[in-house]
Structure 1
């Protein structure tokens, strides 16, 4: 994952330009200084927005390559240099586990080879998993449910951020664990799920909801039953099933029927929708049969879904971490640490306030029932 390649524009030299009105003296360093405040406010700012800002400010249209370089330099100046971030990561992780004892960190390193010979004393960071102990404790009081998904990283070295979340009885989203990996490969998901099961999901009867990726299915198949019934149930996000259907059949007029079929609450309702599919062609019903009704139809979930048909909880976390996806690795991990620390500090304060006010759990539960029903 830690490589020095640039994206698809790497073959474009900084001296070459995409349009005629670029200026030789308007280099990436000058642009980086000019956009510093923009990057500070939004590290996820798009390169085309940087090009537009330069055009507006200097009346020159710079190449994509030059704007991309300027963004990386600006991120490095304000947040951290990309290479330095990798070097400081072990120190930061050590500090994090010292501040939050019993938090878990797993790092996978790779050897470096030169002409088929291993370079001694040099190791490359490949994957890292981390989990805060307060999240582990909080999960014990959540629904036995986990939603998992991957978030693409758009910084200098790319990769993916894998995330899992749950939900407590108050409908609050509870982040559980994170990992930065080379991409959403089967090996990467196996690394994540193995550590998740080892450190967090230590009891049986948990349900996991994910998109219908072959890599996740393959990783679960490798788990020696750790993520299979009766220890766990793996369900699919209905929104992703609908997207798969559209991509497979190019039939938008049947998309709503597919979604309604998944949301069928009674078996007879499912049978009615299934028959409507069958009347439109055998390929549709055959495709549905290959998924397995227990994994995507509400009527057959045997109460393992806890009412969750999508991975929307993950989408909320994606929004929170949107800006961090463009930052160096240590900054990403540090941002989750501060974010979780702020979250649990606020929740602790709220709980102590209720105790001081003599507000018992029974009264609180009664209030919630009155609000909801």
Structure 2
């Protein structure tokens, strides 16, 4: 199974069970298949519990060999446990300023390895309207504290490459996981009058939603009230595409995950 797991890190023990049954007619217990997957991951990537020590060396090597890159790694000083790591490559930052739209999509997705965590990302679109990776981070959890840290790091690289000045950027994000389905009907209203008409229809059909909708700042999600540039984008689907693009890598130990994403970014830029 080693070749299969190396090509598909997200290959699950249940898939191992099914493949062994189909190929050889042998029925394995789930625990046996799970041990097979664990042993294979160990042979390929080493001991996952000790792999976080590699991140310090990785950050130093990245800054040394890829000038202009940002690679910051933090641990809990008391517990001596991994907290988070932020990665943005020098050329990714430089070319974002040279030709990408002044818009950034932010999102987080769950990591599927043994120790879990969350993968945060900042992506944009290049002049050909294709997905562009600006930065990503691995954190212990998706919470306000880690998002604030991520955004501050993002601000640092944007200001540094722009001569100490911060341009106006349009930020797209999925701010609430539980938005009611009817709200997008109002989000595409081009005028305030149409917006209010749509909202009235929603409130009539769902009275309990009124306070929820009214408490949201329409400047941040409704076309009719948004004063910035939307760059022709109505949602954050592009960052969802990025999450799917790194689906297999999210099953790897953290150092391997970071480097596998680096390789994917390099190949994408090379192909373009």
TM-score by length of 2: 0.88
Q: 1:50 to 1:244 in 2, by over 3 A?
A: farther
For structure 2, the 5+ residue unaligned runs are 160-164
Superposed displacement of residue 150, structure 1: 0.9
How far residue 187 of structure 1 moved from its aligned partner, in angstroms, is 1.5
Deviation at 1:94, TM superposition (A): 2.2
**What secondary structure does 1:149 align onto?**
strand
Structure 2 CA distance, aligned partners of 1:97 and 1:153? 25
- In structure 1, list runs of 5 or more residues that go unmatched: 1-34, 114-122, 214-239, 246-254, 348-373
Asked if structure 2 preserves the Cα contact closer than 8 Å seen for 1:80 and 1:328, the reply is no
Choose from 26, 31, 54 the match for 1:59: 26
Name the structure 1 match of 2:96.
Answer: 139
Equivalent positions of 1:1-373 (< 5 A) are 35-56=1-22, 57-63=24-30, 65-112=31-78, 123-140=80-97, 141-200=99-158, 203-213=166-176, 243-245=178-180, 255=181, 257-347=182-272
Whose Rg is larger? 1
| Matched residue, 1:24 | none
Distance 2:153 2:194 in 1: 40
Secondary structure of 2:113's aligned partner: coil
SS at match of 1:299: coil
CA contact (8 A) 1:138 1:174 kept: no
Q: 1:346 to 1:61 in 2, by over 3 A?
A: closer
Q: C-alpha deviations, 1:104-148, integer Å up to 9, x for none? A: 1111112355xxxxxxxxx33221111101111122132221111
Two-structure CA RMSD over aligned residues (Å)? 2.2
Count of paired positions: 265
Higher RCO structure (Cα 8 Å, ≥6 apart): 2
Residues 160, 69 of structure 1: alpha-carbon distance in 2 compared, 3 angstrom cutoff: farther
Question: Stretches of 4+ moved more than 4 A in 1?
Answer: none
SS at match of 2:259: helix
CA distance in 1, matches of 2:44, 2:75: 28
